[in-house]
Amino acid sequence: MSYGERTRTIYQQQLNEIREAGLFKQERFIHSPQAADIEVEFPSGADIKKVINVCANNYLGLSSHPEVVRAAHEGLDQRGYGMSSVRFICGTQDIHRELEQVVTEFLGTEDTILFPSCMDANAGVFEAILTKDDIMISDRLVHASIVDGMRLCSAEHDTYKHGDMGHLEQKLQQWKDKRLRVIINDGVYSMDGDTAKLDEIVKLAEVYDALVFVDDSHASGFIGKTGRGTHEKCGVVGKMDIITTTFGKALGGASGGCVSGRKEIVEMCRQRARPYLFSNAMAPVIIAGVLKAFEILNRSTELRDKLEENARYWRKGLADAGFILKPGDTPIVPVMLFNAKLSQDFSRDLYAEGIYAIGFFFPVVAKGQARIRTQISAGHEKHHLDKALEAFIKVGKKYQILGKTAEEIIAMYGM
């Protein structure tokens, strides 16, 4: 079929609808390595501006860490650029298996399988291990990649109210006759920054004979005393049946992900998970970088300790200034503005002040819950946080929201 005017018009109309709905995403071009200080071209063609980044998933500051970069160079030299194969044909090097073993030990599981991304891990795992005789019960706020994975799976699915253990128990009772039950959660919820109650979930799983799945992408490397993740924070290491996580955030920030957990489940993924079977093996250069990231974390908790302190300082600074924050103790600190347009105006004004932070609104978050999501890093120094706080307070004063209640802000700007 030729790409004629009729076809072009169809897509142009759809794109216009996205623009009119205020949902058109425009990318900003960064001209420097990922870090606390970055150089940004925005809008396209504008002069490059030096800004402080408070919206990256670079929680441990490893994205441009000199040791990680050096290890990646060495990996490139020693194992080449690409594998030109899926894992099971001729795409598995010694370092792929080494990384799987390192992840297994770090997370306290039985085995691990690498995927090109955590999106792929979540897309593939359910279909690989469940049948139509099973039930997947997910928290209502799980990541979109989990929802996509559940849609691809023949098992039935149901959801429970976010973090509501009573509702989860009702669902477990309702589905007690299924062959397998899987309780599905994020470890740290990316838009709110709150944490799954994995200790309570494990207890329910034991009572109702269910498997526990957690996506710890926003936790692996820094949540818990030694950064193992949400299961460490909740005191249930060794009791997770399935952990998925990414290497694209705290663990070097390049790409790649995994399924880690019970050895039979991992083996089922190796035999059946389609994104694993039909995608190229992870590039050696990335494997080498991720291995170094784990080596750094196994050596010391210095980075996650600094991140914890930075996040505490940032949260207290914003709260003392009179902003409304989503409660939590993770490096994800959402500043609540409620109104969608206000969140976009606020983000634009922060950028003018040299702070790069993004406003989120419906449908990414619930209606009337628009916010600036800030994400703190061990790569931030105190001067970064102080400058960012200064900018937030200046813009907060401009919009007269400091010290105001949610009702007062909504009365001023609407939902």
Partner 1 sequence: MEDLKDVILEYVIAEYASEDDKLTYDTPLISGGLVDSFSMVSLKRFLEVKYKISIPDEDASPEAFDSVNKIADLVKRFTG
Q: Locate tokens 């650029």: which residue?
A: 81
CA 208 to chain centre: 29
SS3 category, 325: strand
b/e map 235-272, b = 16+ CB within 10 Å: ebbebbbbbbbbbbbbbbbbbbbbbbbbeebbebbbee
Angle (nearest 5°) at CA 62 between 34 and 117: 85
249 is catalytic: yes
* 190 among known catalytic residues: yes
Question: What would the DSSP string read from start to end of 48-59?
Answer: EEEEEE-S-S-T
SS3 content of the chain, % helix, strand, coil (to 5): 45, 15, 40
Q: What is the DSSP string of 272-298?
A: H-HHHHTSPPPPHHHHHHHHHHHHHHH
Residues whose CB is less than 8 angstroms from the CB of residue 391 and which lie 6 or more positions away in sequence, other chains included: 350, 353, 354, 355
Nearer to partner 1 by C-beta: 97 or 197?
A: 197
In angstroms, give the least distance from the CB of 178 to partner 1. Answer: 13
168-to-145, 154, 199, 210, 215 alpha-carbon distances in Å = 21, 21, 14, 11, 18
Pick between residue 136 and residue 303 the one whose CB is nearest to partner 1: 136
Query: In the structure encoding, which two tokens stand for residue 275, read together?
Result: 């994104």
Report the nearest approach of partner 1 to the CB of residue 113 (Å): 26
Looking at the Cβ atoms of 18 and 46, the one nearer to partner 1 is 18
> From the CB of residue 13, how many other CB atoms can be counted at a distance below 10 Å?
9
Please, what is the minimum distance in Å from the beta carbon of residue 175 to partner 1? 11
Shortest Cβ 160–partner 1 spacing (Å): 9
The residue (of 109 and 159) whose beta carbon lies closer to partner 1 is 159
In angstroms, give the least distance from the CB of 362 to partner 1: 6
Catalytic site residue from 249, 292, 306, 326? 249
Closest approach of partner 1 to the CB of residue 119, in Å: 16
Show the beta-strand stretches assigned E in 171-323: 181-186, 211-215, 242-246, 257-261
Q: Find the radius of gyration of the CA atoms of the chain.
A: 22
Residue of 117, 145, 190, 377 marked catalytic: 190
CA atoms within 13 Å, Cβ hemisphere of 209: 7
When the beta carbons of 362 and 399 are compared against partner 1, the nearer one is 362
Min separation Cβ 151 and partner 1, Å: 8
Other C-beta atoms closer than 10 Å to the C-beta of 62 total 29
Is the CB of 39 or the CB of 158 nearer to partner 1? Answer: 158
DSSP string, 69-121: HHHHHHHHHHH-S---S-IIIII--HHHHHHHHHHHHHHT-SEEEEES-HHHH
CA distance 371 to 362: 10
- Decide: residue 336, CB within 10 A, 0-12 exposed, 13-18 middle, 19+ buried: middle
Residues that bind partner 1 (CB under 8 A): 140, 147, 150-151, 157-159, 161, 362-363, 366-368
Single out the catalytic residue among 218, 292, 306, 380: 218
Please, which residue, 140 or 312, has the CB nearer to partner 1?
A: 140
The C-alpha atoms of residue 342 and residue 326 are separated, in whole angstroms, by 17
User: Which of these, 238, 140, 152, 147, lies nearest to 196 by C-alpha position?
Assistant: 140
- To partner 1, the closest distance from the beta carbon of 142 in angstroms equals 9
User: Which of residues 142 and 355 has its CB atom nearest to partner 1 in the complex?
Assistant: 142
Residues taking part in catalysis: 190, 218, 249
